[in-house]
Amino acid sequence: MAAPGGPPDEVLGSPSEPPSSNPSSGASPLSQTSTVTLGDPGLPPEEGLASPELLSLEENSENYESSHLASATSVPERDSPGHWRQLEQWVADLQAEVASLRGHKDRCERAMLSLLREMLQLRACGQLQDAELKRLQQDVRQAVQAPDKEVLEVSPRRQRLLCARLVEVREALTQIRRKQVLQDSERKDAEQEASLRWLAGKLEQEEQLREAACSALQKSQDEASRRVDREVARMQAQVTKLGEEMSLRFLKREAKLCSFLQKSFLALEKRMKASESTRLKAESSLRGELDSRCQRLQDLAEERAQALQGQQEVGSSGATPAQQQEECRLLEQCRDLDQAVIQLTNFVHQNQVSLNRILLAKQEAWDSKGQAEESRAGELAAYVQESLAAMQLAGELAQREAHGALQLLREKSQALEESLAELGKQVKDLSDHFVALSWRLDLQEQMLRLRLSEAKREWEGLEQKSLEGLVQCRKEVEAHLREVWERVDSLPRQIEAVSDKCVLRKSDSDLRISAEGKAREFDFEAMRQELAAVLSSVQLLKEGNPGRKIAEIQGQLATNQIMKLETSIQDNRTIQNLKFNTETRLVRGALCPPHPEAPGGSRPLTPAGPAPTSGLPHIPVSARLAPAGSPAR
């Protein structure tokens, strides 16, 4: 048994019994409240309060608190997988702590049962001591009722010394037992109080650790939710900023493209206007020149026509061949002038056609260049549109991904909040159950103290009664001893009568044994003669009888029967001799009883009930010697 100040694991021990249920069973351990009765003696021994599982519970709680405090200082990002793994690890640690608390509750209940078992053991110890006291009383009665011949060899002085020594030993033994019982009860009370105090301290410590873990987990959850909100706001701001930057970039590109197109169109328009003005100037100059030449030619032709008319008028009046020649020459010049005018008109017309062709080619070139610029502008606009559509699609995809991640984070946070609520509910149930368990422990402690006080009072009353009974038995034994000493004088006459009866019985048994031996020897001789005759007949059968095998078998059977008969005769003789020797020793022991041993080696004559008033018991020697056989050799 452990000392009162020892640790609780030495106080209550650890009897082995497999647990009745595990945390993974169907019913919750919180609902399985076991009602323990103090008077139930059939409860099995349970495990003690301090066990390796409790030590592992303390280590787990300390490790969890340290890891939680270490991780609370550096919490990763909310959307990182390490943070979720850490949260899942926290939840698993909390579940393990809840399971360990349930196991601790079971161990507390088993410790209560072990306390009840110890009380029952105390009660059983008291019952054993009562049984031992009753056995001592029976031994005293048997010693008083034993043959009175043992008392003949004991002197009165030695008997008084033995009685005094017996009383002293009994008193010393009673005092030692009383002190031992008191020490055991005090030690057990102290151990139970220490274990209960330790259990209460552990329960308070576990409650504080659980509250600290729950508060830390709640803080981490709040911090994680705030981080999630900040991250979502940051992502939304980034998406908005990215959309604004892309729209601003597209607007800048569009403005640059529009300005470039506008500049190119203006330059083209200026070039076309310049070419048109140059063409108009060239046409006007050519037309002016042609008009001036035509006017001069026309003036010249009119002058010549007037001159010709004048000459014709003059010639008609009196033309000469020289004039006619001059007129012919003028006509030829007019024709030449007409041809020159025609050629000049053709040249002007050709120049006009070539100029128109050049202008048309330039216009077509400018048109093709404008179309190329327009196609390039269209391609650039299409590229810009595609880029804008791609950026919008990318923005929508990023927004969808952010929305999906936000939704996933919200679902995870909601699941974590639900698990935290469930854990909080379980912790609350455990705290309520621990409060009820502490109340039950206090009640059990009070009931145990009451039972121990009642057991002490009952034990003291039983001890007082046993002492009174022993004193009364001692008085009765002294009275019985006086009666025995009064009856000692009649013992010699009874011994002589018994010895005479023994001599008569011995002579009678000797005669019977001798007669029976002679009769058995005669029977044995006759059996041998019959055996010889059977053997001779068997020999004859062997020589000439065809049923030889049958005769041999019969001879073997007869031989076996004879051998069995001899063996039974020898065994009977041995049994008869043993019986005779035993009866002889009994008779000699009854006539000459052995001397009693020393007080330390003999059975003490403890006082018992009232002594019988009849004489010594009569030994039926004749009844025991009736079936005697042959005399002992």
Distance CA 227, CA 493 (A): 117
What's the token pair of residue 13?
């021990």
In a domain, 508, yes or no: no
What's the total number of domains in the chain? 1
For 58-107, the pLDDT digits (tens) are 444 455 445 444 444 444 444 566 767 777 777 777 777 777 777 777 78
Per-residue pLDDT at 554 = 66
* 188 close to 118: Cβ distance less than 8 angstroms: yes
**What residue type is 576 in one-letter code?**
Q
Distance CA 227, CA 222 (A): 8
User: What backbone torsions phi and psi does residue 30 show, to the nearest 5 degrees?
Assistant: -70, -30
In a domain, 380, yes or no: yes
Low-confidence residues of the chain: pLDDT under 50: 1-61, 64-65, 67-78, 147-149, 151-152, 154, 593-633
Sign of CA dihedral 302, 304, 308, 310: positive
In a domain, 476, yes or no: no
Per-residue pLDDT at 418 = 83
Per-residue pLDDT at 205 = 82
In a domain, 517, yes or no: no
Question: Can you give the pTM of this predicted structure?
Answer: 0.28
In a domain, 354, yes or no: yes
In a domain, 499, yes or no: no
Per-residue pLDDT at 320 = 64
In a domain, 495, yes or no: no
* 441 close to 196: Cβ distance less than 8 angstroms: yes
Per-residue pLDDT at 28 = 39
Per-residue pLDDT at 143 = 63
Distance CA 536, CA 417 (A): 115
CB 404: neighbour CB atoms within 10 A?
Answer: 10
What's the token pair of residue 130?
């009562």
Distance CA 159, CA 150 (A): 12
Per-residue pLDDT at 547 = 60
Q: What is the DSSP letter of 24?
A: T
* 100 close to 55: Cβ distance less than 8 angstroms: no
Per-residue pLDDT at 629 = 39
* 607 close to 474: Cβ distance less than 8 angstroms: yes
Nearest by Cα to 21 from 98, 101, 106, 94: 106
Chain center to CA of 355: 104
Distance CA 4, CA 362 (A): 122
Per-residue pLDDT at 553 = 66
Per-residue pLDDT at 284 = 82
Per-residue pLDDT at 312 = 67
Sign of CA dihedral 93, 99, 105, 109: negative
User: What backbone torsions phi and psi does residue 75 show, to the nearest 5 degrees?
Assistant: -85, 130
Domain residues for the domain of 335 are: 245-404
In a domain, 633, yes or no: no
Per-residue pLDDT at 72 = 41
